[in-house]
Each structure stands twice: as structure tokens, then as C-alpha cells.
Amino acid sequence: MISRIRVLCSPQSVECADKIMHSALDIFFAPNKTIRELHEIVKSGGTDLDPLKEFSELARAQLRSLA
């Protein structure tokens, strides 16, 4: 999948996809969060809540530029 992104997408999209992949691995190997910790993350508006946001915004911008 990442090789297709490298060929078809902008360098910014590739960088975002790479960050998402590393972030997913970090989350997988991190200790589980408690309900209280999750509540605090939601209350603080933590950026971890939507790891695909930056990538999806870039992808939409690229699609708009092609139209």
C-alpha cells in the first residue's frame, strides 16, 4: 500500500502516511489506557483522537487540484 502512495501521491501525503504507520505501531505496543486516561484525552481535545485527519485533508486537496 505505501509503495502505491509513494508513486501516486505528493511527498506530503507520503510523509503523512509514514507518520500514521509509525503512530499505529507506537499505539499497538504502548500500554493500554484506562477509561480515566481516555476521558482526559477527549476533554483536552487530544490530537491522537483523529490520526488520519492530516492525511485525509491532504488527499482531499490533491483530489480537488486534479479536478
Per-residue pLDDT of the chain (67 residues; tens, 9 = 90+): 667 777 877 888 888 889 989 988 998 999 999 999 988 888 887 666 788 888 899 889 988 988 7
3-state secondary structure of 42: helix
Q: Which grid cell is 61?
A: 486537496
Cα-only R_g, the chain: 15
C-alpha grid cell for residue 54? 492530516
pLDDT of residue 31: 95
Q: How many CB atoms lie within 10 A of CB 34?
A: 9
Q: How far apart are CA 2 and CA 59, in angstroms?
A: 14
